[in-house]
Structure 1
Amino acid sequence: MRILALDSSGLVASVAVVEEEQTIAEYTVNYKKTHSQTLLPMLDEIVKMTEMNLGEIDAIAVAGGPGSFTGLRIGSATAKGLGLALKKPLIHIPTVDGLAYNLYGNEGVICPIMDARRNQVYTGIYRFREEFVVEEPQMAIEISALAEKLNERGEQVTFLGDGVPVYKEQLEQLLHVPVRFAPSHMNRQRAAAVGTLAVQYWKEGKIERAEDHQPDYLRMSQAERERLEREEKEQQGK
C-alpha cells in the first residue's frame, strides 16, 4: 500500500509518500510563501527523487481542515485534481487529528492548537492507549474554555501546533495541570503523519471519491462573517 499525503492546512506546506511500514519521502517547508507556490513543486521534486510513477499510489490523503481557508482550498483542489486525473480515492484526515498523530505513543493528553484568531483555537483532545484515541473531536473554542476543559481532566497535557507561540503564556497561567510543549521537530503539521494515519483509515474503509471531497472549515471565514454582519445591519435599518 502506498499513499500520497498532502497538508497545506496551516503555515506549513508538506507532501509525503508513505507505505505501511515506512515513509518513502517527505518534503516540508515552513516559510513565508503561499502554498500555491510550493505544494506542486514539492510533489514534483519527490516524484523525481524517488523515480515514482504516481499511477502506482493507492490513494491520496489530504488534511481536510480546519485551518487556513486559503490553504485548505489549495490542498483540497490539489488532492481532488490528482484524484480525478489518476482515478484514485481520497482519504480525508481531520487536520487536528493528523497533527496529534505526530506524538504517537505520548503519555497523557495530547492537545494540538492552531491559532484561529479572536482568542480562539482549532483543537481536539487525544491520547494513545493501545491505539490512537480521539477523546474530543476537533473544534473551534476560546482558549480559556479549552483550559477549563483540561483542568477538569486533571492530567498532564502536551501541546503542539502554531497556536503555541501565540497562547503559551496564557495557557501556563490558566492551567493547573502539568504542561509540556512538543519539540520543534514534532510541533507542526507533517504530511508523513497524515499519510500514516491514512493507512489506518484505508484499512477501515474510510475513503471517498475525489469529486465528493470538501474541506471542513468548522466556522465561517472572516469575509462571510462580515457579509452576515452587514446584512443584519441592513435588515435592522429597514
Structure 2
Amino acid sequence: MISLGIDTSTFKTSVGLVEDDREIASYELSANMYNSEEVVNMISEIFSKINFSIKDIDLISVGIGPGSFTGTRIAVTIARTLSQTLNKEIVGVSSLKAVAMTYEGSEFIVPLIDAKRNRAYFGIYKNSDVIRTVKDDRLMDIDEIANELSGKAVVILGAGAEFFYDKLKDKMNLKMPKERLIRGANVARLGIIEYRERGSDNLFDVLPNYINLSQAEENFKKLKQI
C-alpha cells in the first residue's frame, strides 16, 4: 500500500510517501506562515523525483491536529481535495501520534505543542513494538501535565518540547531527543496502520481536531492514573 502523508499542524510543513513500511520520501519545511500553494509544491516535488505518479497512491493520510487551527485546515482541505479528485481512500490521523512515532523505547512519549497561556496540546503514547495511545490528545495547563507525569520516565517531543522543558525537568525522569519533530513519512505510516485497523474515513468526516478548553476540562476530570 502506498500512502501519502500531509501535516501542517505546526509551522513545520510535512509531506511524506511510504510503501507499506518502506520510506520513499519525507519532506519537511519550516516556514513563518501557512501556505496551501507551498504544500502542493512540496507534493509535486516529491513525485517529480521518483518513479511513482500521484495516481499510483492508495491512501491519503492527513494530520488533523491538534495544533494550529489555520494550518490544520490547510492540510485537511488539500487531503480531501486530492481524495475526491483522485478517488483515493483517506484517513485522518492524530498529528501528535505521528510525532510520537519519531521515538521508540519503553518510556512514556509525550508530544507537546504550545497552546499559549501556559497550556499545551499533548497526548501520551508508548512506542516499543507498535505505537499505542495511553491517553488521548487533550489541552491542559503545563503545570497539570507535570503533575500528571510526576516521577515517570518520559520522553518529550514536538514543536513545544524545548519551550516546556524547564517546566517539566524537575518533576520526572525527562529526556528530549534531538530528533523530535513531525515527519511526513510518519504521518503516511500512521495512516496505513489506522487504515488497516479501522478502514478508511468518510471524506466529509475528516475534519480538524479543534480541542477547546471545555473539552480539556472534561478530559481532565476523567483522567485515570497511568
Q: What amino acid maps onto 1:179 in structure 2? A: L
| Aligned residue number for residue 155 of structure 1 | 152
Superposed displacement of residue 127, structure 1: 1.1
Alignment of 1:1-238 (within 5 A): 1-103=1-103, 105-151=104-150, 154-173=151-170, 175=171, 177-183=172-178, 186-219=179-212
| d(CA) in 2 for partners of 1:93, 1:214 | 10
- 1:209 to partner: Cα distance: 2.7
More helix by share: 1
Aligned-partner SS, 1:107: strand
2 CA distance for matches of 1:77 and 1:69? Answer: 12
Identity %: 28
CA-CA distance at 1:189 after TM superposition: 1.3
- The separation in 2 between residues aligned to 1:214 and 1:35, in whole angstroms, is 18
Aligned residue pairs: how many?
A: 213
Q: 2:208 & 2:31 partners in 1: Cα distance?
A: 23
Q: CA deviation at 1:73?
A: 0.7
How far the C-alpha of 1:129 sits from its partner, in A, is 4.2
SS of structure 2 residue aligned to 1:117: coil
Higher Rg: 1
Q: Mean Cα displacement is larger for which, 67-76 or 24-33?
A: 24-33
Structure 1 length normalisation: TM-score?
A: 0.85
SS in 2 for 1:204: helix
In structure 2, distance between residues paired with 1:44 and 1:128 = 32
Task: For residue 156 of structure 1, report the CA deviation from its aligned partner.
Answer: 0.9
Runs of 4+ in 1 over 6 A off after TM superposition: none
3-state SS of 2:201 partner: coil
Give the whole-Å Cα distance in 2 for the aligned partners of 1:15 and 1:150.
32
- Determine the C-alpha separation between the residues in 2 that align with 1:211 and 1:131: 29
